[in-house]
Amino acid sequence: MDKIKAIIIDDEPKVSKSLEIQLEMHFPEVEIVSIARSVKEGVDMILVYKPDLVFLDIVMPGESGFELFNYFKKIEFEIIFVTSYSEYALNAIKVSALAYLLKPVEINELKEALDLVILRKGQKDAYKNYQVLVENMKKNVPGEQTIAISNHGELVFVKINDILFCEGWDRYTKIHLLNRKEVLSSYSLGKFKSILEPYLFISSHRSFLVNPKHIVSINQNDELHMTNGLAIPISQRKKHEIIEAIKNK
């Protein structure tokens, strides 16, 4: 396997050094070719070394990590975002199907992030995720953001408001969209819960995650009547929560 050339952009020397040591010990296929302390310095290093991967801190003095995108017309390297907080930023990264790490960095999470980067290499339009991320960060209205869905090795980009509900199918998830369109994703329903619950999606049943905006009513059989005409089951312990969600939508 070819070495993955990587750059770390982080203003905290201890964090950078710790990450470099973890990579050297556990992931020898990743070679750190440079460490930068700011976005501007990172841009210079990217132009010099042309890395395959950048570990990018989000919150730094001066320019934030997201401002790196202002320096490039097209991102032609993978990015693993590194942060200690900023829930809004994390939500934007998650829906864009991009890799991230929380400080302090754990080995298992580092492995998951690197696995995602390697997986994305074979995906068509993989770098479109970064364009989606930039657009999502500009949108302040919940639900107007776009989510990147992995579908048979390719990415499908869907507006969150266009999702009616997600249905768990063993290790897969079927995404039901407006106009009765469907997308089958290799992500589990649990993965979609972590991504979509910040956008007020709720579990009506252990196999269903629902967008309250598309609930019409609860029928006499205690099922949710959706805007596309489908009826989906409700767990009794979730009924009160769903009634409140319908009132507040």
Taking only the tens place, the pLDDT of each residue in 214-239 is: 998 888 888 898 988 889 989 888 88
Strands 146-151 and 154-159: antiparallel
The contacts of residue 52 (CB under 8 Å, 6+ apart) are 4, 5, 6, 77, 78
Sheet holding 182-185, edge to edge: 182-185, 172-177, 163-169, 208-210, 202-205
- pLDDT of 49 reads 96
| Angstrom distance (rounded) from CA 89 to CA 245 | 25
pTM greater than 0.85:
no
- What residue type is assigned to position 35 of the chain? I
Residue-range domains of the chain with CATH: 4-132 (3.40.50.2300), 149-248 (2.40.50.1020)
pLDDT digits (tens, 9 = 90+) for 62-88: 898 989 999 998 888 999 999 886 666
Place of tokens 């964090």: 15
Give one DSSP letter per residue of 129-182, joined into a string.
HHHHHHHHHH--STT-SEEEEEETTEEEEEEGGGEEEEEEETTEEEEEEGGG-E
